Amino acid sequence: MVPGIMGRKRGMTTLFSPEGTAIPVTVLEAGPCYVTQVRTPEREGYSAVQLGYEESKRLNKPERGHLKTLTPLKHLREFRLAAEAAPAMGEKIDVGIFEAGERVDVIGTSKGKGFAGVVKRHHFRGGPKTHGQSDRHRAPGSIGATTTPGRVLKGMRMAGHMGAERVTVRNLRVVRAEPERNLLIVEGAVPGPTSGLVVIRKIAHRP
């Protein structure tokens, strides 16, 4: 069985348990995905399956050549799995692979925030508001020492591009799976904006 699927985030809402507890959930439109390539240890040196998601007419020639016997699909992602569990080429994968109560990881791209300072980006406290400080309220302060080491160390937390990076949220509980509507409802928040592309993966198949 394929251990994951692709989809899009459709937004958040609230469900109520039979006991009346409010559960914040995210609705994901997941699949259907199609098997576009099966990798084998004999040919590629490892075992995996590649899935395609969302039809598109705007593919370049290499992409069309790769999918020449299949429907043109925009997004391709690979999942590791045992060779004996690999599905056939062109097989359809939907949210039926998940069950209510199961735990999953959701991988997406966080919202881009543009260029941000250290207070917003790294939660720095900022400088003192008094004692003659008039322009250091949101400044980072010193970023290095003097003669030793005589340079700014790599990895120093500074202002820069914030967000727009791969984020994995782990151990989310599946509240409901609806294959007939291609919907997967998970408890909690997932990364990215509404309509952002996400990958949903069973936690037993973490790389």
Most confident of 48-52, 79-83, 146-150, 156-160: 156-160
Residue 145 lies in a domain: no
Q: Is the domain of 90 the same as that of 102?
A: yes
Confidence label for 207 from pLDDT (cuts 50, 70 and 90): low
Q: Is the pLDDT of residue 14 over 70?
A: yes
In Å, what is the CA distance from 70 to each residue of 28, 41, 74, 202?
25, 23, 12, 26
Whether 206 has a pLDDT exceeding 70, the answer reads no
Q: Are residues 94 and 175 in the same domain?
A: yes
pTM of the model: 0.84
- pLDDT tens per residue, range 132-174: 888 889 999 999 888 999 999 999 999 999 999 999 999 999 9
Measured CA to CA, the distance from residue 33 to residue 75 in angstroms comes to 10
pLDDT at 84 over 80: no
Strands (E), the chain: 4-16, 22-30, 33-39, 48-55, 73-80, 92-93, 103-109, 114-116, 160-162, 166-178, 183-187, 197-202
Domain span including residue 201: 4-113+168-205
88 and 124 in a single domain? The answer is no
In the prediction, which pLDDT does 205 show? 64
Which residue reads 């020639």 in tokens?
A: 61
CB atoms within 10 A of CB 35: 19
User: Do 99 and 193 lie in a common domain?
Assistant: yes
Q: Verify that 93 and 130 share a domain, yes or no.
A: no
CB-side neighbour CA atoms (13 Å) of 199: 22
Is 15 a domain residue? yes
* Beta-ladder partners of 161: 115
Task: Give the mean pLDDT of 79-89.
Answer: 83
Q: Is residue 104 part of a domain?
A: yes
Task: Assign 29 a pLDDT band (cuts: 50, 70, 90).
Answer: very high
Look-up: residue for tokens 């500074």? 158
Span 144-153, pLDDT tens digits = 888 999 999 9
- Looking at the fold, whether 88 and 71 belong to one and the same domain comes out as yes
| pLDDT for res 69 | 79
To 5 degrees, how large is the angle CA 198–CA 60–CA 200?
A: 10
Asked if residue 174 is part of any domain, the answer here is yes
In a domain, 151, yes or no: no
Strands 103-109 and 166-178: antiparallel
In terms of domains, do 20 and 89 share one?
yes
Q: What is the pLDDT of residue 198?
A: 96
Q: For position 44, which CATH number holds?
A: 2.40.30.10
Count of the separate structural domains present in the chain: 2
